[in-house]
Structure 1
Amino acid sequence: MKNLDIAIVGYGSGGQAAALALSRDGHRVEVFEQAPALRPVGAGFLLQPTGLSALWQLGLLAPALGLGRRIDRLYGENEGGRAVMDMAYAGLDPRLFGLGLQRNALFELLRDAWPGAGGVRVGTRIQALAPGGRELLDSAGGRHGPYDLIVAADGAASCLRGAVGAPRLDRPYPWGALWCLLPEGEWPWRNQLRQRYRRAREMAGMLPVGARPGDAAPRLSFFWSLPAAAMPDWSREGLPAWKMRASALWPDLAPMLDAVEDPAQLAQARYRDAIPGAWFRGRLALLGDSAHAMSPQLGQGVNMALLDALALRDALRESAQVGPALAAYGAARRRHVAIYQFWSRWLTPVFQSEADSLAWLRDRLFLPLGRLPGGRGQMLRVLTGTQRGWWGRYGLPTAFMQTLEQAQPAAGPWSN
């Protein structure tokens, strides 16, 4: 396909990866970001093998491994110390692992890899397509374009999602989370994502996320679950009382929370469940959370956004026209993402809700089901992002697997 004039709306992880991948193919890329300055949003996240394979394709796997923290195991327990979830990547393939990474780290890696990052149109809120579908309208009345292709990567609350048709589902989750980065210090589980639950009403988690460019101090990404309705006044009880409540759920948190000295250190995150009616219309394509917003329970958001960007690049490479390319892109990504939207929607109340009966069943059934031969493989494929549909598989490139085996970060011993 000839080099295209492409607009990307949103400079989150998906928009960053799309800008990098498409400009490397010779397309002329213009990016719009509503924030007044380029910055990441969020504390840390878990890159799954699929996300790592996307960074490998972009030539960024080695620096990411140098910054992040290898994660071998996901472990969750209830307030009584009873194991609820215990999944190890090695149970699927001994070469696989996750990578805890600070959002700052990924943001800076993707930004520095794209020479055009200095030209992002910051402070520009795109709110609609102009009639004809090739121009963009911003909130100040500005008009931009025309473009051969417009990529909506403007997040879970996308202003452009409706332009592809009525969504099948678009609603906020009734639960959210507080989060912050904490010094890793003497945290004993440096290669594990650890969670602790009090029924489904309270959940705390710690994910080691390594360092970031310019700051070698390793960090932990801490999150605390709570109802979205309670978030505006969550600190009314006072910080000491909240710390006592969190430490009562999980005593190991007590020394780690000493680093939280002001409620303002804890940012708030709200989530959405969105399934569009289509992934594209005309010359507009959805990417990232605008196409598949879901709860973070499965930890797939960033991974799927990175895969979206590369799938769009590949579709444009393989077709001579924009329309067929977008049709191929949407079909491929919908087949992969749909199962994660399904499980995210049904599993979230098991971990974040007031349904005590669901939590009771979870505590007794989730771990045994994960040890059954069929259930174990399904859970691990969903975890790693390699499940496609109910029976299909998302294959990881052989060369990537060889690279992963040779360039693994030091694992360190598990701490139980």
Structure 2
Amino acid sequence: MKGSLRIGVVGYGTGGQAAAALLARDGHHVEVFEQAHVLGPVGAGFLLQPTGMEVLRQLGLLEATLQHGARVGRLFGETREGRAVMDMRYRDLDRRLFGLGMQRGALFALLDSAWQEDRNIHCGRRIAAIDAGRGVLRDQEGHEHGAFDLLVIADGAASRLRAEVGEAVLDRPYPWGAQWCLVPRRDWPFGDELRQRYAGARRMAGMLPVGTRPGDDTPRMSFFWSVPAASLHDECEGARWRSDLRDVWPEAADTLQDIAVPDGLAKARYRDAAHRRWYRGRAVLLGDAAHAMSPQLGQGANMALIDALALRDALRTSNGLAHALAQYERARREHVGIYHFWSRWLTPLFQSERDRLAAMRDRLFHPLTRMPGSRRQVLRVLTGTRRGWLGVVPLDPRLLDALEAHAERVSPMPCRAFS
């Protein structure tokens, strides 16, 4: 498309931030509408995959991202009794690859810094409705904003606007959520691994190194504790909560001994959402608003970043808005579909009351993922580089060179024997 568009972005989470920065850099006039009165991140930590790193590379943020993130080479999960359930290493796919544990606050600050020139953000504006045909937004007070040439709906998993863009094939909350917090890394022995501990499918705890953030040089860990969504409203009693965690993972309980319970624990809920179409008229869905899924594969932030880049590229190469939005949807569906499928089917194995499924998982999951062909396929999914059942998302050689150079500059990740 030729010329500058006037673009309204609803939501300033990861997808909205990346879209605003990328589209503004292409010369479009971007306005963001964020319901929060004060801009800031939501969430504790996440695992940035190579696919997400490529988007940050194109924004000129890769070096800063590598400085703040914690390099993760291994994803390891075991039962309470010490039986390995998952043991995946990036190097088995490509010696140059690794994940990057990051604080949400670090990613928010970096993306925010990427869009400073001529930025226009309206805080405290909850958009209640859209007119996709006219390109108009209407806020909760009845004020209209626009008309815009393009509306980017990036208001998250609990989007109030997605139904005005595309009919939902599926839009339901998951029955399980999580409690989470950030803690100083201190002497945690697994500084280069995502570690998880399972007690059946009813209890799951996770610890992920997430590095530092701008303005805070303390390396931290992100802690995750699986909880039925219905009980997230209940006030957990501290002694009971600590006893439950210690029963599953004594080392994690020791690390969290200074965290106030329940006040120091944030709550997270998840949705499963899919739509027949991602665009209508001048409006398009992006990020969790388009394809919310459970956190089992840890792809939410990465998918939002890739969405933003795909939308920018579609606007660059297409002849007309309708063609651009169709190209964007087609490209992203080819990638996202397999992740929707696997996250939907894997979730009951890790967050449910299905004890028999958990028992099968404990016996079969690790041996199956040790098989050479199967292992490579699983690694493709975990790294975000699987497209469809057999396709591959190619990684830019410049990204691979940058990751290799970074790995050579820092101390090597310790090699531990397989558990």
TM-score by length of 2: 0.97
CA distance in 2, matches of 1:277, 1:254: 44
Q: Which amino acid aligns with 2:229?
A: A
Q: Secondary structure at the match of 1:6?
A: strand
User: What RMSD in Å do the two structures reach over aligned CA positions?
Assistant: 1.2
2:334 — aligned with what? Answer: 335
The one-letter code sitting in structure 2 at the alignment partner of 1:218 is: P
Runs of 4+ in structure 1 deviating by more than 6 angstroms, as ranges, are: none
Distance 2:125 2:372 in 1: 51
String of CA shifts for 1:202-250, please: whole Å, max 9, x gaps. 0000000000001100000001001001111151xx2122112101111
Identity of aligned residues (%): 59
In 2, Cα distance between equivalents of 1:287 and 1:327: 13
**Do the aligned partners of residues 25 and 351 (structure 1) sit closer, same or farther apart at CA in structure 2, a change above 3 Å counting?**
same
Q: For the Cα contact (< 8 Å) 1:133–1:284, is it kept in 2?
A: no
What per-residue deviation string (whole Å, max 9, x for no partner) do you get for residues 321-342 of structure 1? 1110000000000000000000
Aligned partners of 1:189 and 1:415 also within 8 Å: no
Distance 1:94 1:193 in 2: 18
1:135 maps to a residue whose letter is V
Report the counterpart of residue 256 of structure 2 in structure 1.
Answer: 257
Residue 156 of structure 1 corresponds to: 157
- The answer (yes or no) to whether the contact 1:188–1:415 under 8 Å persists in 2 is no
8 Å contact kept, 2:170–2:272: yes
Matches within 5 A, 1:8-407: 8-116=9-117, 119-130=120-131, 132-235=133-236, 238-407=237-406
Alpha-carbon deviation of 1:410? Answer: 3.7
Q: Given residue 160 of structure 1, which amino acid in structure 2 is its aligned partner?
A: L
AA in 1 matched with 2:304 = A
Q: Which secondary structure does the structure 1 equivalent of 2:257 belong to? A: helix
* Cα shift readout 1:62-100 (whole Å, capped 9, x = no counterpart): 001001100000000011110000000001000000000
**Structure 1 letter corresponding to 2:313:** D
Distance 2:130 2:252 in 1: 48
Structure 1: 5+ residue runs without aligned partners? Answer: none
Over 3 Å counting, the alpha-carbon distance change for 1:192 and 1:258 in structure 2 is same
Per the normalisation by structure 1, the TM-score is 0.97
**Local SS of the residue matching 1:233:** coil
CA distance in 2, matches of 1:289, 1:190: 29
Q: 8 Å contact 2:30–2:119 — kept in the other structure?
A: no
Q: Decide whether the 8 Å contact of 2:154 with 2:288 is kept in 1.
A: yes
Letter in 2 for 1:220: M
- Which range moves more in the overlay, 238-247 or 361-370? 238-247
Q: What is the CA distance between 1:411 and its match in structure 2?
A: 4.0
In 1, are the aligned partners of 2:235 and 2:262 still within 8 Å (CA)?
no
C-alpha spacing 1:83/1:36, structure 2 compared with 1 (3 Å)? same
Shift of 1:303: 0.3
1:174: how far off?
Answer: 0.1
Question: Residue type of the partner of 1:293?
Answer: A
Deviation at 1:404, TM superposition (A): 1.5
User: C-alpha separation between the residues in 1 aligned to 2:112 and 2:128?
Assistant: 24
Letter aligned with residue 124 of structure 1: R
| Unaligned stretches of 5+ residues in structure 2 | none
Indicate conservation of the 8 Å contact 1:77/1:84, yes or no. Answer: yes
CA distance in 1, matches of 2:41, 2:328: 26
Task: Specify whether residues 145 and 410 from structure 1 end up closer, same or farther in structure 2 by C-alpha distance, changes over 3 A only.
Answer: farther
- Aligned to 1:232, the other structure's residue is in SS state coil
Amino acid in the other structure paired with 2:341? F
Q: Aligned pair in 2 of structure 1 residues 131, 344: CA closer, same or farther (>3 Å)?
A: closer
What is the CA distance between 1:311 and its match in structure 2?
0.4
